[in-house]
Amino acid sequence: MNVDPWALCDILADPPDARGAVLLHFLDGFMDAGSAGRGVVDYLFDEFEHTPVASFDVDQLIDYRSRRPNLTFSIDRWSEFDAPQLVVYLMRDHSDRPFLLMTGPEPDFAWERFVDAAEDLIDHWNVPLTLGFQGIPMGVPHTRDLGMTVHATRPELVFDNRPMFNEVTVPGNAAGLLEYRLGESGRDAIGLSVHVPHYVMQMTYPAATLRLLEGIREATGLDLPPVASLEEEKERVDADIADQVAESDEVAEVVKSLEEQYDSFTEAADADEMLQEGRIPTADELGDAFEHFLAERQRGEDDK
């Protein structure tokens, strides 16, 4: 029996500005290392006015017993219920360009029906591009520029990408399924996954949020400049991490090892890129690469 996906979603308002707007989305509950994606959502709510334009029926989507919402008890009565909400908001960037944000808890149930309802909203508002974002833990050092895996429904949409692996199977998630189904139906969608050092994945890591905002700006053209408070928080957290590393020889050794691995990977990727572009390395580049090879070989001999 076919179930009408619109039964999961209600349009609360239908402003003309929503038509042709880019749709950003972030769902709580799956992976978000360093609270990178949550940081983007908090930035958007703090920086821009947001008008609800659609709402999903979370009663059909959420397992309350696995993620119990808060109830507030005051003296002799229940005074407040923090009901979960999965909502689409209309916002405007600093250049007054409209865009949409869909955010809330990741559905526990009815993923396909949720995706169908989201696709109906995308069609209703003629959304040209859908973009999701998150942080993923990686064995990378905090002392290097944060990488980002960019994936999309068309190769032409992929930018600034240096793949960390050819193929990997991971637990499913509703945002990933949405992107996959959008690709199957010929719609444009992009996903941004910033690489967060695994040893800071449990803390709030503003550098990862700033990297995602940079990627969103590049992918969509939205005018979303970083704010001073976010930059200041990044500097504070970076300083705290540096202090903790300095206080522990063991941690410092781990970071040093990650730096060496990262630099070796980057050098190898740069060499591969030169070959793909058909550029012949210079004598100095060949010499540096050969010296690096000899050093690695000697290190391997010494370890035997």
Give tens-digit pLDDT for 1-43. Answer: 345 656 899 999 999 999 999 999 999 999 999 999 999 999 9
Q: How confident is the model at residue 304 (pLDDT cuts 50, 70, 90)?
A: low
Residue (of 25, 89, 18, 83) closest to 52 by Cα position: 89
Residue 287 confidence (pLDDT): 47
Residue 301 has pLDDT above 70, yes or no: no
> How far is it, in rounded angstroms, from Cα 74 to Cα 155?
55
Q: Is residue 212 within 8 Å of 133, Cβ to Cβ?
A: yes
Residue 219 confidence (pLDDT): 97
Per-residue pLDDT tens for 185-215? 999 999 999 999 998 999 999 999 999 999 9
DSSP the chain: ----GGGGEEE----GGGTT-EEEEEEETS--GGGHHHHHHHHHHHHS--EEEEEE-GGGT--TTTSPPPEEEETTEEEEE-----EEEEEE-TT--EEEEEEEEPPSS-HHHHHHHHHHHHHHTT-S-EEEEEEEEES--TTSPPPEEEEESSGGG--S---S-S-------HHHHHHHHHHHTT--EEEEEEEEEGGGTTS--HHHHHHHHHHHHHHH----PPPHHHHHHHHHHHHHHHHHHHT-HHHHHHHHHHHHHHHHHHHHHHHHHHHHTTPPPPHHHHHHHHHHHHHHHHHHHHT-
Of the candidate CATH numbers 3.40.50.10900, 3.40.47.10, 3.40.50.300, 3.40.367.20, the domain formed by 5-225 belongs to 3.40.50.10900
CA distances to 171, 172, 237, 248 from 168, rounded to whole Å, are: 10, 12, 31, 34
Residue 135 confidence (pLDDT): 96
Domain positions in the chain: 5-225, 248-302
Residue 298 confidence (pLDDT): 55
Q: How confident is the model at residue 236 (pLDDT cuts 50, 70, 90)?
A: very high
Average pLDDT over residues 167-177: 90
User: Which tokens hold the place of 270?
Assistant: 């740069």
Residue 281 confidence (pLDDT): 44
Q: How confident is the model at residue 283 (pLDDT cuts 50, 70, 90)?
A: very low
